[in-house]
Amino acid sequence: MAEPRLPESLIQSLGDQLLPVRRLPPPWVRTLGWLVVVAVIAAGLLAHYGATHMMRRFEAAPDIAMAGVGAVITAVCAAWAAFTLGVPGRSSRWAWLPLPGLLLWVGASGLGCMRDWLGPSAHIAAFHEASDCLIFIISLSVPLSVLLIWLLRRACPLRPVLAAIMIGLASAAASAALLEICHAFAVAATDLLTHAMAVAIVVLVNALMGGRLLQPALK
């Protein structure tokens, strides 16, 4: 059976408009690009606050260091998953990639919190200190999310909300990891709750807004 004429004329007209295109780099290359920006911010914070205080905290409470490593792994994996979900035909199972890092991050933070609860020798965050963390994570997540959204708009995420959730998770995890450089006190229940709330807000806002912003090619 012959194909109808309409696709033929459309194919011809699309052929008329064909221009060479610059191929999208692989997702891991794009992830590295975003991580370079995060690394520059980390270098700036380290230059300002120094590493001594952070290292002393890590030595006193290794679970905080583990939580930081978990946040870094979550950020890398979530960004990689977001860029991969931006390519049509890639499996949505990529969204599971940040899970191990997330478990490490949440688990180690929870352990730190338990330790302080059982033996509260360390300085526990007051409400205003915890709210500083909330502001830090959210305000740093905004530019990191905007950068990821801008980079992903060149791709074509067919599951935009899932990709936006990955963007939110990546930027919130990166912000929480960067916060460790200048965090003034040990992780406690109020602080952990604030971190969790900040991450949830960033992920939710990205899911609500990012989903719409990520599909310029499909409008």
Q: Should residue 20 be labelled a site residue for other proteins when binding is judged by CB under 8 A?
A: yes
List 14, 51, 135, 142, residue binding other proteins (CB under 8 A): 14
Residue entry with tokens 């992830």: 31
Per-residue x/- track, 173-212, other proteins (CB under 8 A): ----------------------------------------
Q: Should residue 139 be labelled a site residue for other proteins when binding is judged by CB under 8 A?
A: no
Question: Which of 153, 44, 165 has its CA nearest to residue 95?
Answer: 165
Question: Which of 96, 77, 67, 70 has its CA nearest to residue 34?
Answer: 77
Q: Tell me the Ramachandran region of residue 131: left when phi exceeds 0, alpha when psi lies from -120 to 50, beta otherwise.
A: alpha
List 13, 48, 121, 128, residue binding other proteins (CB under 8 A): 13
Q: How many CB atoms lie within 10 A of CB 147?
A: 16
Q: Should residue 36 be labelled a site residue for other proteins when binding is judged by CB under 8 A?
A: no
Residue 10: C-alpha distances to residues 5, 13, 18, 218 (Å): 9, 5, 12, 18
Q: Tell me the Ramachandran region of residue 14: left when phi exceeds 0, alpha when psi lies from -120 to 50, beta otherwise.
A: alpha
Write out the E strands in 94-203.
none
CB-nearer residue toward other proteins: 53 or 154: 154
Encoded amino acid at 104, one letter = L
CB-nearer residue toward other proteins: 15 or 119: 15
Q: Should residue 93 be labelled a site residue for other proteins when binding is judged by CB under 8 A?
A: yes
Q: Which region among 11-19, 66-74, 111-119, 143-151 touches other proteins (by CB under 8 A)? A: 11-19
Spatial distance between the Cα atoms of 84 and 156, rounded to a whole number of angstroms: 10
- Provide the minimum distance between the beta carbon of 92 and other proteins in the complex, in angstroms, as a whole number: 8
- Provide the minimum distance between the beta carbon of 154 and other proteins in the complex, in angstroms, as a whole number: 8
| Site residues for other proteins per CB under 8 A | 3-4, 6-24, 26-28, 32, 80, 84, 86-91, 93-94, 154-156, 158, 217-218
